[in-house]
Every structure is written in structure tokens, then in C-alpha cells.
A and B are shown apart, each in its own frame.
Chain A
Amino acid sequence: MRRGRDLAVALLTLLLGRIVRPRESRGRIVPDAPGNTSAELVALAFLALASFAAVGFIVAYAVGGNTQYLGLSLGLSLVFVAAALIVTARKLVVAEELEEDYPPEEHVVEQERVEQIVEEAGDGLTRRRLFKLGLLGTGGALGLALLTPVLSLGPFFTTKYYLGTPWRRGRRLVDENGKPWHADAIERDDFYTAFPEGANPEELGSPLVLVRLPPGDLRLPAQLRGYDAGGIVAYSKICTHAGCAISMYRAPLFQPAEPRPALVCPCHYSTFDPATGGTVIFGPAGRPLPMLPIEVDARGFLRAKGNFDGPVGPSWWGVRMWRPNP
């Protein structure tokens, strides 16, 4: 009973009591602040709100962890703490604006001393330049040695891996489920994705985009003549600008009023003409789309006749120097 009353008194004192300090100046460093009791209450209110919000976060987490409630409660709690601090800064602590000297621009004497120390220490050496050269050389060689294992991260001196693709003569074209593409399944005004049978579809050399054009519309350049299979043309699906998948096909319903058929990349809108060997007709690509020669086999399925007419993917220094391995 007595302890309970003591506790109640202590609590009331905590909540309602205020300190009234006698105003004595005993060589203060920080000047006395004028005090602002209503601001104190505001700051305390913010702290109380912050506490409630923090508890709210714990409750929200326990009850299901809804992201919006969690973010609202934690965010508000932090914002209320910020508010309490800013009220404190503006109203509860003394606003001082002091001045003092910037540190000196430089310490000339010390600089000279340092120079002197280092130079005098070297007075025992007669072959200074040689030592400097030696240290430099050793540092360079050792540094190079320590950097050498970086070369194990991957092939650096060879670029042959950029030229390999899984396509070989006779390899069948399949869809993403491994089902072989039949030539009759490739219809006009549509575009299809194909992969080499049995190969890793994620390799850049794997995916193809297939479209069927009327054979009369094809105007393939001489070196690509015969690459089509009765009007079906196959190109690398990887854009020669920056490596995105070419996943748009512009198939005009009514040619006189609409732009001609084209394969378009959704990243920077490089536009390739499938009728002329994948030439670039708009956009920032610097090379035509690599074309894969295909044929229809005895049972009507599509097969590759060889490898692409050029490396797939974006340009690099050797992209025009070699063809992919046949």
C-alpha cells in the first residue's frame, strides 16, 4: 500500500515536475537558454507518438507483417523522433553563433623540418638515385606480380569464345519446350523464337527469331542467297547494338498505309529488315543481324545448314574479322 503510493508519487513527479534552477553565473561555457515550456510539451508529445508508432510496428509485425503498416509505423516513429529533435534544436537549446579562427593555411616550419628529417636520414647513402630506381623497379615488378592472378578471372588474351555458337550443320530448330519446329508451323505475319536442339538456350548464340516472307519479297544479298528455307528466314535474336532480345515484329496488315515488315529491338529501337538480310533501317545498331542458313529436312522440320554469317551480339574490335566456327 505504502509502496504503491510512493510509486504513484514518483510517477506524478516524473510527469508533472519541472526543475527551477536558481540563476547563478559560475563561469558558464554554454549560455543559459531562455526556456520554453510549451515547446517542451510539444517535444515530449512527439516522443510519445514516436513510442506508440514503434510499438505499432511490433504489433503490425506480429499480426501479419503487412508492408504498408510496417512502413507507416516505423517511418512515422522515425519522423516523430526527428520532429522532437528539431523542436529541441529550434526552441529548447540556446541558439549560439560563435566565432573562432580557421586553422592556419599551412605550417611552413613543420614542412621544412619534415623535409630536413627525411633528407638527413639519407645522408648515409651514396647511391641515392640507384636506390630510388631500384625501389621503383622492385615496386613495379612486385605490383605486376601481385596483379597477375587477376588474369585467372576469365579468358583475356583470347576472344575465340565470342565466335562459338551451338549451331552446327544439321542441328534442328526447337521451341522453348524442346519441340522441333515444323516448317508449316511458321506462318506469315507472325514471329517465332527457336533454339538449337539440345543446347543451352541462355547462350547468346542460341536464340533465333524466325519469320516467313513471301519468297518474292526476299532481296537477300549475294552472300546470303539460299540462307532461307522457302521464304522462312532465321536471324539471331540478340540485337547487334547492345545485346537485348529482339522481341518485336512489325507485321503490317495493310502495306500501303503501314511501314514494311521489320524486326525491332525494344531497348533502343534498332530496326532490322528481314527481307534484305537483317540490314539496319533505323536506330543505333551498327551491324546487320547475323543470319543463320536453314533448310527443311525430309520430314518437314527446320534444320540449320551451318553457322551464322557473322558473330552474334554487340560489336567489339574483332567482330568483323572472323566468322563463327562452321
Chain B
Amino acid sequence: MIRKVVRYLDQRSSTAPFIRKSLRYLFPDHWSFLLGEVALYAFIVLVATGVYLTLFFVDSTAPTVYHGPYVPLQGQHMSEAYASVVRISTTVKAGLLIRQTHHWAANVFVAAIVLHLLRVFFTGAYRKPRDLTYLIGVTMLLATLLEAYLGYSLADDLLSGMGLAIGWSVGMSIPFVGANLMSLLFHGPFPGQSSLWPRMYLAHVFLLPVLIGSLLVAHLTLVVLRHHTQFKRKRETERRIVGIPTWPGQAPRSLGLAFATAGVLFLLGGLVQINPIWLWGPYHTYLATNGAQPDWYLGWLIGGLRLVPGFDVVIDGYTLVPGPFWGGVAFPTVVLGFVYTWPWIERRLTGDREYHNIVDRPRDAPLRTAIGVGVLSWVFIVFVAGSSDRADVVFGLSYTAQIWFYRMAALVLPIVFGAIAYRVCHELVASERIAADRKRAEAEAKARLAS
């Protein structure tokens, strides 16, 4: 049976040697190497559930009046888009399951990418020859952030509508060209024309998925062609790769992880409510709610927008740098710029232009780990600052006091945490060396006693 299938394929495509090689392709074995796979499987769930949703979503901001089964929205004015999402959530059978799974998958997708990026960063896997793979990966992260933002904004509910207005304002704050660019994208001032929703929809269901998909193919191809990196254990060297073959070892593991990812996402999609847009109500430019937040992966930006004090840089009546630029554009640009250029920065700092197939444990590269911890804690502190108002509501901590605290903390703590990480790395390596020395001395002593 297997012979028949392979014969059919080989006769028509000449790929039997390729299939044989693929079946015994080696995968170095470490649990952290699977994080990228989690992202991949979340992406597959996203595409599958997303296709289903496109069969029901209406990408139109034409106004309509609700006359459906959900009572609190009866008679309310809303867009066709919002009404279609309410319909998916209340009337289409399994619609709410697919919709919630889609949104949970988006959150988990970005989380998995971030974890995968952290693993790649802190082990130095981005070094030559994998720097191109790394660049493609970071570009995918960027595209994913935009894709996810557009995705939850398409529902046109009160929460995401406020977020879209803020995104537009951040775009407006770009010096010299911001207002012109936004006018082009939105077809005029916010809230735009009837063409805006189809543009967002096209970007979300076609342009960006194609971009991410193509980058993904390039990324995986490069990973396969260069083979995966590995930690140094016993037999691993820069020349020899040690790993588990695709068949029969790796395949059930990866497939198991795939099904586990999909299973977790569908369990969440059915059991834990996410983005209940029927409860928020439709968006209107003249309405707002307290406690509005973006999805978690944009929380660092709301933190930036809240922490930067209120000032526009004005020169002679020309508003050179509107306020939201610093927290909304400059901050993420600096962080992403660091992430993009780090392989080159490290090369200059260490002078290491070698080829690397063996990756480091974080403790073995104290400078890299310290700088990474510093930048990561900077982003994390600003991220936490973004929900300081809820901290006031829930824990009673003064919002204004928190803002001042986080401003100081964001400047000081990254350096402190980086320094601590640096020391911890050295301590861990030193204690390992001491333990190894002691073991060797005991073995020598035992051998001497025996002889």
C-alpha cells in the first residue's frame, strides 16, 4: 500500500529520494525548539477558523438598525459589520465557537512568536548563518501585530473602535507626513469613508495572510536547508548534528503538539469568553467607555501613550512632533530597531563573525543576556503601566502616583535588571565550574585510593 503511493508520486514527480531524505531528516531535541511549532499550529487554526468567519462577516460600515434576538441591542444603530459579528455570535450555529477560537488563537499565536523570539535571542540562534531567517521572523512578528490589530478592529464594537481612533491618531503624529499618510489610508479624516472597511478587510483576510504565509515558507525553508541549531551535550559539534529523525520519532511528537495546540484553542474558544462584542455595543465616534484596552500585545503602546507627558513639539507654528509620536511610534521603533539590528550590534561588540550551529545557554553569554533582559524589562514595565488605571480601581493604588513611579522605573529598572542578569549568569557559570572541579577531584581521589 505504502509502496503503491510512493511509486505513484515518484513516477510523477521524481521525489522518492527527497521523501527518503525527509523521513530521516534530523531534529535536535530540546523542548524550547518547539515554541516556533506552537506558533505555526496556532497560525493554521487561525487560517482555518478565519476562512469560516469570512463566510459570514459583512465588511461594510453602512448603518443599520438591529432587530435580532439579543434584546439589549434592539433598535440600536450600528454598522452592518458589527451586526454581522453579533449575528455570528448569537445566531450562526458554532459561529461563536469559531469566532472565539479565532481570537484566542490570535492571542496565543503572538505569545508563541514572542516566546520563540526570546528563545532565539537568548540562545544566540540568530547568528550567522541564520541571520536572514531571523530577519524574516521579526518581519513576520511585525506583520502579525498589524494583522491582529486589524482583525479585532473589523468588528466595529465600542472597544475596538476607540482603539482604531487611537491608531489613526498615532499615525497622524508622524512628523511631516503623518496627516497625509492617514488621509490616504482612510480616504479622508477619521472615521473614513465606506471604502475603509473593505480595505481593512482585504488587508486582514488576504494581503497580510499572504505576506505572513510567504515569509513563513521562506523562514521554514531556510531553517530546513541550514538545519536546526542545537545545544552542546555529548556528541554535538559545530559539524555534527544530533537529533531525532522525522519518521518515526519526530512526527508523532510534532503532530501531538499540533493537536494539543488546536485542542487548547478550541477548549478556550468554547469555555472562556473573549471579546463579547454584544456586551460592549457598537462604536460611535461620540461614545466611549472607561477601562478600554487594546489586546495584550499592544499593551506596551498604551503604556507608552499614557506615560509620555503632554506636549507637542512646535516650531514657529509648525507642529513638528505631536505628543502621541513618542509613545506610539518612537518607542516601538526603537524596540523593533534593536530587535532587527541586534545580530549586527553583537557582531561589532564581540567581534564574533563566525558561523554557529551550536547555541548558547543564556548563562554562557552574559552580555547578550543582560542587554536582552534590560530591553525586555523596559518593554514590560511600560506594558504594565498601561493598565495602571485598573490597578487603581481594583487595588486602590493612586493612578497619578503610579504614572510617576512607572516613568522612573522605566528609566532605571532596565539597567538594574540587566546588571542583575549579568551577575546571575556569571554566578551560575562559576558554580557549575566549581561543581565540575569538585567532581573531578573526588574521582581522582577515589581512583588514587583504589590503586
Contact = CB atoms under 8 A, between A and B. Distances in A.
**Direct A–B contact in complex, judged by CB atoms less than 8 Å apart:** yes
Interface of A: 29-30, 61, 65, 67-72, 74-86, 88-89, 93-103, 105, 150-151, 153-159, 161-162, 176, 193, 195, 201-204, 206-207, 237-238, 241-248, 265-270, 280, 282-287, 313-321
A282 B401 CA distance: 13
A267 B166 contact: yes
Given A68-B271, A98-B26, 17 more contacts: A61-B94, A70-B94, A71-B100, A82-B259, A86-B256, A93-B249, A154-B185, A161-B183, A203-B191, A241-B323, A245-B288, A280-B310, A284-B308, A313-B172, A316-B179, A318-B318, A320-B319
Nearest to B92: A65
Contacts of B176: 317
B332 to A, nearest CB: 15
B256 A98 contact: no
B378 to A, nearest CB: 19
B290 interface: yes
A85 B308 contact: no
A154 B193 CA distance: 10
Contact of A155 (B97, B175, B188): B188
Given A30-B248, A244-B162, A202 B284 contact: yes
A151 B317 CA distance: 28
B357 interface: yes
B159 to A, nearest CB: 11
17 contacts: A30-B248, A71-B97, A71-B268, A74-B97, A82-B256, A85-B253, A89-B256, A99-B240, A100-B240, A202-B191, A204-B190, A286-B322, A314-B324, A316-B172, A317-B177, A318-B318, A320-B314
Contacts of A150: 184
Given A85-B256, A204-B190, A267-B166, A97 B243 contact: yes
A154 B187 contact: yes
Interface in B283-329: 284-292, 302, 305-306, 308-312, 314, 317-320, 322-324, 327-328
B188 A85 contact: no
B96 A67 contact: yes
A93 B318 contact: no
A265 B169 CA distance: 15
Interface in B226-242: 226-227, 235, 238-242
A284 B252 contact: no
Of A72, A74, A315, the most chain B CB neighbours within 10 A belong to A315
A314 B173 contact: yes
Contacts of A95: 244, 249
B168 interface: yes
Contacts of B83: none
B331 interface: no
A96 to B, nearest CB: 6
A65 B94 contact: yes
Most chain B CB neighbours (cut-off 10 Å) among A75, A86, A94: A75
A242 B165 contact: yes
A154 B312 CA distance: 26
Contacts of B169: 241-243, 313-314
Interface in B91-149: 93-94, 96-97, 100-101, 129
Contacts of A79: 259-260, 263-264, 267
Contacts of B253: 85-86, 89
Contacts of A97: 29, 242-244
Contacts of A77: 263
Contacts of B248: 30, 93-94
B270 A75 contact: yes
Contacts of B265: 75
A193 B319 contact: no
Given A70-B270, A75-B267, A316-B173, A321 B318 contact: yes
Contacts of B227: 102-103
Contacts of B370: none
B42 to A, nearest CB: 13
A195 B284 CA distance: 13
A313 B225 CA distance: 51
Contacts of B245: 96, 98
Contacts of A238: 285
B132 to A, nearest CB: 14
Given A65-B93, A151-B184, A319-B322, A96 B244 contact: yes
A69 B270 contact: yes
Given A266-B288, A284-B305, A317-B175, A67 B270 contact: yes
A156 B184 contact: yes
B359 to A, nearest CB: 13
A320 B241 CA distance: 63
A101 B270 contact: no
B180 A161 contact: no
A286 B190 contact: no
Nearest to B162: A244
B249 A243 contact: no
Given A245-B285, A317-B320, A75 B185 contact: no
A94 B302 CA distance: 51
A249 B247 CA distance: 66
Contacts of A86: 252-253, 256, 260
B345 interface: no
A286 B271 contact: no
Given A204-B189, A242-B165, A316-B178, A155 B183 contact: yes
A20 to B, nearest CB: 20
Contact of B286 (A70, A158, A245): A245
Contacts of B93: 61, 65
Contacts of B193: 154
A71 B324 CA distance: 41
B178 A266 contact: no
A193 B286 contact: yes
**Interface-centre pick from B181, B185, B247, B322 (highest chain A CB count, 10 A):** B322
A94 B260 CA distance: 22
B383 interface: no
Nearest to A74: B266
B133 to A, nearest CB: 14
A16 B240 CA distance: 45
Given A102-B357, A201-B284, A78 B323 contact: no
Contacts of A68: 270-271
Contacts of B175: 317
A71 B269 CA distance: 6
